[in-house]
Amino acid sequence: MNATINLEKHFPVLLNELVSIISPLYGGTFIDCTFGDGGYSERILKETSNNIIALDRDISVKAKAQKFQEKYKKRFKFKNIKFSDINKITNNNIKAIIFDLGYSLNQISDFNRGLSFKSKGKLDMRMGLNDFSCNEVILKMSQQNLYKVFKYFGDEKFAKPISKKITKERQKKNIKTENLVEIIESIKKRKGLKNNSTKVFQALRIFVNKEISELINGLINAYNILPIGGVIAVVTFHSIEDKIVKFFFKEYAEIKNNSRYLPKTMSATKYFKLIKKKPIIPTHKEIKINPPSRSAKLRFAYKLENGCDFKDFINKFKYLIEVENLGFDD
């Protein structure tokens, strides 16, 4: 049977690959840090010895979570929190912690959110528990800071002229989603494989939702609550996310002394065990059925030791956190 594309249904990305990683650990609690449409949670709960603690900052998924609670009773719990607050969870039988950093089809297709450049109307982009909306960023942020957001979070080559035109156009009218697309198109006239607005919209989503600090703190806190032998698995969808996750696992899976000044007889510390150095990517069949999966990468690691302070990890991406913490003024 030929695979067919279904653009009306959300598919949990790399589901079979994820299950193959965590299934040897079945018989305990699994934390789904990005519940969304519940695809991962539903598959894990098919095994009756498993429990799920599901997290999501997006309150709109609460109705879906209530259906899960009715079906799975005490085996399923839902918390409307950011996954960076995972350290608030107390459970001694956590087997795996799972992050899917993509947006669900329901979120992208909700044009009131303004997550997609195909939307019409107000620029919002808030995923929940936010301090401000994208509309406020476009309306109030200085040209210089807009430039930094587009450059560092979108790798946008035209960051300077786009930020300049935004600050000019907002003097005339309130910039809505379609207006922002028009501004970008007026500057980036070349057509490529990606839509011209992709990078700017990605940058704004990252900034509005504080996705960099969310991911960094989420990974660190996941490590802190995970028992030795448990696994952290992360599905990323763009290069910044993947760069952060790759460094997090690889840097602390290599054998190294806590300090270069320690004597050579001191035992080395290795905090993670990597089974695969390269990420797992979707098959051609999955991409054909679910085109948005084409950019997904799955990385995972097993926890070997407690006590890592992650100073090198935090310092490595300090510059991105600084951009994320920019105010609206210079």
pLDDT bracket for residue 70 (50, 70, 90): very high
Q: How many CA atoms lie within 13 A of 57 on its CB side?
A: 20
Categorize the per-residue pLDDT at 1 as very low, low, confident or very high, splitting at 50, 70 and 90: very low
Contacts with 57 (C-beta within 8 Å, 6 or more apart), sequence order: 80, 81, 82, 83, 127, 128, 129
User: 262 vs 154, which has greater pLDDT?
Assistant: 154
Q: What is the pLDDT of residues 10-69, one digit of tens each?
A: 689 999 999 999 999 999 999 999 999 999 999 999 999 999 999 999 999 999 999 999
What band does 236 get if pLDDT is binned at 50, 70 and 90? very high
Same fold, 15-106+214-323 and 131-208: no
Assign a CATH topology to domain 131-208.
DNA polymerase; domain 1 (1.10.150)
On whether the CB atoms of residues 138 and 150 are closer than 8 A, the answer is: no
Are 57 and 82 in contact, with CB atoms under 8 Å apart? yes
Extract the tokens encoding 239: 């290069």
Q: Which amino acid is at 120?
A: K
pLDDT band of 266, cuts 50, 70, 90 = very low
Written as one string, the DSSP assignment of 245-299 is HHHHHHHTTS-B-S-TTS-TTSPPB--EE-S-SSPB---HHHHHH-GGGGG-EEE
| Domain boundaries of the chain, sorted by first residue | 15-106+214-323, 131-208
pLDDT at 125: 95
CATH no. for 15-106+214-323: 3.40.50.150
